Amino acid sequence: MKLYEYLGKKLFHRYDIPVPQSKMAESSEEAAEAAAELGDVVIKSQVLSGKRGKAGGIAFASNPGEARTEAERILNMRLNDLTVEKLLVEEKLQIEQELYLALTVDGALRCPVVLASLDGGMDVEEVAEDRMIKWPIDVSIGLQDYMTREICRKMGVSGALQKEFIKLLPKLYKMFRELDAELAEINPLALTPDGLVAADAKVTIDDDALYRHPQLPRVKEKTDLELKAEELDIAYVELEGDIAVMANGAGITMATLDMVQHYGGAAANFLDFGGGADVERTAQALELLLGTNPKVLLINIFGGITRCDIVAEGFVKVRESKGIDLPVSFRMVGTKEAEGRAILEKVGIKTFNSMDDAVRHAVELTGAS
C-alpha cells in the first residue's frame, strides 16, 4: 500500500524525523489560510503518481493570494489519470543541498538495504551507480551507528552532516521495521540551516502485513475492479485488450498472456485466482472478469491443488445466473479433469487439452465476433 506524501510525513513526524511545517488544504481558501500562517510556501498535489513537479502539480507561493491562485489551478487537475483532491501546503525550506535516503528490501540479499546518495532530487535509477551507496542490514542486529558512519564515509560525508545522519537513520530504520514498510524513501532529503529535513516522503507498506497495523490509514487509488479483486485476494491487473484471461498461478497466467500476444491477440487483464479455489471463489473471479466487458473469455486451468470439477462447477453457476453468452475458450487438465470436462460438456462447452490450442482458439474467436 503506497501512502500519500502527507501520510508518509505524518509517520516520519511520529518517528521524530524532521519534516517541514505544513497544513492540509482541500480548497483554495484553505490553501490561502495556510500560506497566511506559514509564509513562503510550496503547494503540493497529493496523488500517488510521481513526477508531480513536471506535470504542474507543485507550485510555490509567497503570499496568500498566490497560494489561492495556485491551489485553484492544481485542485481537481488530472495527474496521470488521478484527480487532485488534496493539497499539502508546506513552509518553503532553505535548501542548501538535496540528498537521497531510503530503506528498502533487497530480494537478492534477502534483507533491508539503506540507499543513500548526495545526488538527491533525482529518481534513484538516474543516479550514477557509484554515487548511490547501498548498505545491507543484518536484521539480527539492526541498524547500528557504525553502518551510518560507513555509509557516510562512502558518500564522502563527515562532521556535522554525518552526525545528522547518525541521528536520522536509526529513526527511519525503526519506522521501516515497525511498520512493515517495503519502502521508506526521502527524496529529496533537504540539508537546511537547521539540519536534515524530509522534503518528500514515499512510504509503501507491505500489504501482507497490513493486518497488524490497524492504526495505519488505508489508501486506495485503484479501479473499482482492482479494489474488488483486492478484497477477494485475487491477483488482478487491468490491461487494454479484449480477451479476458483467468488462470491458476501467477507464472502460468503471465505465460498465457504472453501466448495471447504471440498469436496476435490482446489480453484484457491478468487474473490469477490462485491455487485450490472453491466454487465460490471461481465464481467471484469470473464475475470480476465480466466487469471489463471482454469479447472472449480464455480460461486456462492446470489442476494441481486446484480441482477441475470445482472450477467447472463455478463456471456453470456464474454462466447460468448471469446469462453469459460470451464465447469461451477453456483449457482444463489435471486433478479431476474428466469430471470437470463432463460438467462443461453438459452445458455444451468443449475444452482443450493444450494451452496452445486454447489460446489460438481464443484469438480466433476475437476475429470472428
Partner 1 sequence: MSIFINKQTRVLVQGITGKQGSFHTAQMLEYGTNIVAGVSPGKGGQSVEGLPVYDTVFAAMEKEPVDASILFIPAPFAKDAAYEALSAGVKIIVLIPEHIPLHDAMDIMAYARKQDAVVVGPNTFGLVSSGSSKIGIMPNRYFVPGPVGIVSRSGTLCYEIVGHLTEHDIGTTTVVGLGGDRVVGLNFIDVLSRFEEDPETKAVILVGEIGGSSEEEAAAYISTSMKKPVIAYLAGRSAPPGKRMGHAGAIIERGRGTFESKVKALNAAGVEVAGLPTEVPALIKKILS
Triad 276, 281, 283: Cα angle to 5° = 130
Return d(Cα 196, Cα 167) in angstroms, integer: 10
Which is the catalytic residue, given 185, 236, 313, 337? 185
> From residue 142, how far is each of 100, 112, 176, 180, 354 by CA, in Å?
21, 9, 11, 14, 50
Work out whether strand 82-83 and strand 87-91 pair parallel, antiparallel, or are unpaired. unpaired
Should residue 255 be labelled a site residue for partner 1 when binding is judged by CB under 8 A?
yes
Catalytic site residue 15? no
DSSP for 317-348, written as a single string: HHHHHHT----EEEEEEETTHHHHHHHHHHTT
The three cell numbers of residue 110 are 534477502
Which is the catalytic residue, given 4, 6, 30, 100? 100
Should residue 282 be labelled a site residue for partner 1 when binding is judged by CB under 8 A?
no
Should residue 354 be labelled a site residue for partner 1 when binding is judged by CB under 8 A?
yes
Should residue 260 be labelled a site residue for partner 1 when binding is judged by CB under 8 A?
yes
Should residue 227 be labelled a site residue for partner 1 when binding is judged by CB under 8 A?
no
Q: Which of 22, 45, 117, 253 binds partner 1 (CB under 8 A)?
A: 253
Characterise 219 by phi-psi region: left (phi > 0), alpha (psi -120 to 50), beta (else).
beta
Should residue 115 be labelled a site residue for partner 1 when binding is judged by CB under 8 A?
no
Return d(Cα 117, Cα 125) in angstroms, integer: 12
Return d(Cα 141, Cα 126) in angstroms, integer: 31
Residue 112 CA, chain-centre distance (Å), reads 19
Catalytic site residue 185? yes
Should residue 165 be labelled a site residue for partner 1 when binding is judged by CB under 8 A?
no
Should residue 182 be labelled a site residue for partner 1 when binding is judged by CB under 8 A?
yes
In the complex with partner 1, the residue whose CB is nearer, 67 or 172, is 172
Should residue 138 be labelled a site residue for partner 1 when binding is judged by CB under 8 A?
yes
Instruction: Report in angstroms how near the CB of residue 209 gets to partner 1 at its nearest.
Output: 4
Q: Which residues are catalytic?
A: 100, 185
List of residues contacting partner 1 (CB under 8 A): 105, 107-108, 110-112, 123-125, 138-141, 144-147, 149-150, 153, 158-159, 177, 180, 182, 206, 208-209, 211-212, 233, 235, 237, 239, 247-255, 257-262, 267, 270, 272, 274-276, 302-306, 333-335, 354-356
